């Protein structure tokens, strides 16, 4: 197992944001974590990336414990986070943004090859090579952020809501590239998403989080067949427009069968 998370627990002051989370990410697979607002998804990624220290539990990356390490030490080991909302450097060019990802690398030839590779996945970044990243569209910034993360030669790429603020078409494009990254480089991906439909479509393994706990775990294919998941996350259940002729405002309480 590339990443093995055991009984992870994170608190913000008196509030437990995440309790007893166990999950694994296998080599060369896309693992998706789904959940609504406030489920603890971002907390999970930030804890894994060393941005927050966990209160309890272990994070084993390639068999070694990495919980509690600083974010840069975690990143150097190949556990790389693409943060929520992109966070590119707006006044650096696209190329310099990508190079920032390779800041800790000394293998210049390989870096050049990786830049070409990223430009191959995202031709638009090549067109905008010298432009300030702050002038790019949201989708292009997401491409920069993913490319930048890839340039740090990750073994595990962690993506926090790549679909945030993107059109459905761009979302599919981004996820298409994520799939390509996995296929072409064998990089494992851990993606956190609210957009369950697209994440379940492209992911291999899936977890569903609610209120800081994992409530369901299975392959993405199996999850997307579950009635509860379909109703709560894919919006294919009955009664979106109810008999009263009004939009449904309530959510069925779930049992997770």
Partner 1 sequence: MAEIRFMGHDTPARAFRARVHEWSDRPALRHKLRGLWQTLSWSDYYARARAFGLALRELGVQRGEVIAVLAENRPEWLIADMGAQCMGIVGNGVYPTASAEQIRHILRDSGCRVLVVENQEQLEKTLSVREDCPALARILVIEREGLRKLDDPQVEFFDRFVQRGDDIATTHAQDFEDEIDAGKADDLAFLVYTSGTTGAPKGAMISNRNAVFQMTKAPEYLDARPGDKSLSFLPLCHIAERMSSVFNPLALGLIVHFPENAGTVANDMREVAPHVVFAPPRFWEKMHSLVELFVRDAVGPARWVYRRALERGRARVEARLNGGPVPGVGPMDRLLNRLAFHNVLCFLGMQNCRSALTGAAPVPPDLIRWFLSVGIELREAFGMTETSGFGTATPRGAIRLGWAGLPARGTELRIGADNEIQIRGPNVFAGYWNNPEKTAETVTPDGWLHTGDCGEISPEGYLAIRDRIKDIIITAGGKNITPTQIESQLKFSPYVTDAVVIGEGKRFVTALVMIDLEHVARYAQDQAIPYTDFASLTRAPAIVALIRAEIEAVNPRLARVEQIKDFRIIDQLLTAEDEELTPTMKLKRKVIAQKYATLIDGMYSA
Looking at 40, 57, 101, 154, which residue binds partner 1 (CB under 8 A)? 57
Q: How far is the CB of 167 from partner 1 (least distance, A)?
A: 28
Beta-carbon neighbour count of residue 199 at 10 Å?
A: 29
**Site for partner 1 contains 225 (CB under 8 A):** no
**Site for partner 1 contains 216 (CB under 8 A):** yes
**Site for partner 1 contains 222 (CB under 8 A):** no
**Site for partner 1 contains 219 (CB under 8 A):** no
Residues 190-209 binding partner 1 (CB under 8 A) are: 207
**Site for partner 1 contains 14 (CB under 8 A):** no
Looking at 2, 17, 23, 189, which residue binds partner 1 (CB under 8 A)? 23
DSSP class per residue in the chain? --EEEEEEEEEETTEEEEEEEEEEE-TT-EEEEE--TTSSHHHHHHHHTTSS--SEEEEEETTEE-TT--HHHHHHTTEEEE-TT----TTSBHHHHHHHHTTT---HHHHHHHHHHHHHH-HHHHHTTTSBGGGS-HHHHHHHHHHHHHHT--SEEEEE-TTTT--HHHHHHHHHHHHHHHHHH--EEEEEES-HHHHHHH-SEEEEEETTEEEEEEEHHHHTT-HHHIIIII--SS-SB-TTSSB----------
Looking at 36, 215, 222, 234, which residue binds partner 1 (CB under 8 A)? 215
Interface mask (CB under 8 A) for partner 1, residues 97-136, using x and -? Answer: ----------------------------------------
Q: How far is the CB of 40 from partner 1 (least distance, A)?
A: 14
Which of 53-61, 102-110, 133-141, 169-177 is the region at the interface with partner 1 (rule: CB under 8 A)? 53-61
Distance CA 6, CA 205 (A): 17
Which of 26-34, 56-64, 133-141, 164-172 is the region at the interface with partner 1 (rule: CB under 8 A)? 56-64
CB closer to partner 1 out of 20 and 138:
20
**Site for partner 1 contains 37 (CB under 8 A):** no
Distance CA 120, CA 87 (A): 22
CB closer to partner 1 out of 21 and 133:
21
Note the residues at the interface with partner 1 (CB under 8 A): 6-7, 9, 19-20, 22-23, 56-58, 207, 213-217, 239, 242-250, 253, 255-257
């Amino acid at each position: 197992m590339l990443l093995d998370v055991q009984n992870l627990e994170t608190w913000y002051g008196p509030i437990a944001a995440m309790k007893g989370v166990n999950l694994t990410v296998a080599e060369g697979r896309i693992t998706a974590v789904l959940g609504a607002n406030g489920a603890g998804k971002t907390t999970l990624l930030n804890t894994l990336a060393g941005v927050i220290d966990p209160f309890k539990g272990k994070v084993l990356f390639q068999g070694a414990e990495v919980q509690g390490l600083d974010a840069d030490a975690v990143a150097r080991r190949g556990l790389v986070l693409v943060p929520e909302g992109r966070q590119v450097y707006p006044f650096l060019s696209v190329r310099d943004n990508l190079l920032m990802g390779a800041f800790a690398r000394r293998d210049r030839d390989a870096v050049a090859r990786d830049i070409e590779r990223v430009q191959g996945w995202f031709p638009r970044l090549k067109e905008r090579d010298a432009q300030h990243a702050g002038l790019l569209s949201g989708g292009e910034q997401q491409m920069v952020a993913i490319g930048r993360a890839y340039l740090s030669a990750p073994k595990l790429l962690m993506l926090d809501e790549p679909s945030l603020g993107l059109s459905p078409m761009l979302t599919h494009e981004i996820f298409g590239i994520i799939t390509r990254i996995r296929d072409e480089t064998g990089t494992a991906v851990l993606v956190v998403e609210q957009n369950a439909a697209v994440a379940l479509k492209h992911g291999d393994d899936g977890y569903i989080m609610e209120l800081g706990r994992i409530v369901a775990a299975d392959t993405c294919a199996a999850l997307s067949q579950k009635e509860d998941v379909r109703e709560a996350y894919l919006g294919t259940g009955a009664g979106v427009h109810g008999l009263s002729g009004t939009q449904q405002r309530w959510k069925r309480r779930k049992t997770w069968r």
